[in-house]
Structure 1
Amino acid sequence: MNKSTTVDQTVQESRNEVVPSPVSQTESQEANSGLGVAVDKPVLFFDGVCGLCNSSVDFAIARDRQGRLLYSPLQGETAAALLSEQDIQNIDTVIFRTPKEGRLYRRSAAIVRVLWLLGFPWNVCGWLLWLIPLPIRNLGYRMVAGSRYRLFGKHETCRMPTPEERTRFLP
């Protein structure tokens, strides 16, 4: 593989990090009503059986005291209603979905946005991470994601929220 091919692939991957949701506004509203809950907050979609992903969700919940973020496993009903089939099949990434325009952020871009929501000092960490060019951030993300099951374990079932957390989790 020559250098230009590698650069072209990196540029294409960068373009795929931030894309509008393939689900229209009307479809999103229909999906929300079908779920029985309006998705009026940002949603973090994660691999529900991944040990690292579950630990990351625990980390975010503990620091998001104002409850600004909702959580949903990629294996759940909400993901099926709001994400494309390709996003659901690609469980090696986290996806951050904005509430109004349904914009999707993947991999390290999603992590940065979650850190920004968590407030000080985590928003500063998000800004520092944002300074790293996207292809380099995502290279690090992919290295960890590729070995996350081996390093952090894989559960048989998705994470079950505690009674206190239930209002912050979507099916």
Structure 2
Amino acid sequence: MTDREAIDEPLWRHRPLFVFDGVCVLCSSGASFLMRHDRAGRVDFASAQSPLGQSLYRRLGLEMDATYLLIDGGHAYTKSDGYFRLATILGGWWRLALIGKVVPRGLRDWLYDQVAARRYRWFGKANHCELLSGDQRGRLVSDLDSDPLR
């Protein structure tokens, strides 16, 4: 799969969906940070371990440990391209992150892969979504029945 690949119509969503590793301390902390700063609720969130997250990874032929997912506009974004797309969606000062596009994608994604491969060793694991507040856990889209991917 490429970093930005069209996905089938059944995976089309009304709002962007950020799928993250819910047991990774780095990933959950990052999702918590995004939720705190996305006060307008532009983005939905799901853990990779949820039925919805597992279904998306299977459907796209990706290993959960390989990358997070950002589903937006009928496309799946991963690695650095996903972060740049997220910065565009969130707008405002988030767009400053787009400066990172001056770094070649191969290098950006290599760096992403290095951190991803060592994230549990460097940052640790927590119980599923334990690092999210109660309100933040309430923002999670967790199963296929509650989210028809529209």
In which range does the TM-score fall when normalised by the shorter chain? 0.7 to 0.9
The separation in 1 between residues aligned to 2:83 and 2:20, in whole angstroms, is 11
Deviations 1:84-115 (A, max 9, x none): 2632x3323111101x42x0011111111222
- CA drift of 1:141 comes to 0.6
The separation in 2 between residues aligned to 1:63 and 1:147, in whole angstroms, is 26
1:158 aligns with 2:128: yes
1:107 aligns with 2:93: no
* Bigger CA radius of gyration: 1
Q: TM-score, normalised by structure 2?
A: 0.82
Q: TM-score, normalised by structure 1?
A: 0.72
What runs of 5+ residues in structure 2 fail to find an aligned partner? 143-150
Tell me which amino acid in the other structure corresponds to 1:158: H
The separation in 2 between residues aligned to 1:85 and 1:121, in whole angstroms, is 31
The separation in 2 between residues aligned to 1:44 and 1:50, in whole angstroms, is 15
Deviations 1:50-100 (A, max 9, x none): 01001110111111111000111111111234442632x3323111101x4
Return closer, same or farther for 1:139/1:68 CA change in 2, 3 Å cut-off. same
1:129 aligns with 2:100: yes
- CA drift of 1:151 comes to 1.1
What SS does the corresponding residue of 1:104 show, helix, strand or coil?
strand
- Provide the aligned C-alpha RMSD in A: 2.0
What runs of 5+ residues in structure 1 fail to find an aligned partner? 1-14, 30-38
- How many residue pairs get aligned? The number is 140
Contact 2:65 2:116 in 1 (8 A): no
What SS does the corresponding residue of 1:154 show, helix, strand or coil?
coil
Tell me which amino acid in the other structure corresponds to 2:136: E
From 36, 40, 59, give the equivalent of 2:33. 59
Find the counterpart in structure 2 of residue 28 from structure 1. 11
Find the counterpart in structure 2 of residue 11 from structure 1. none
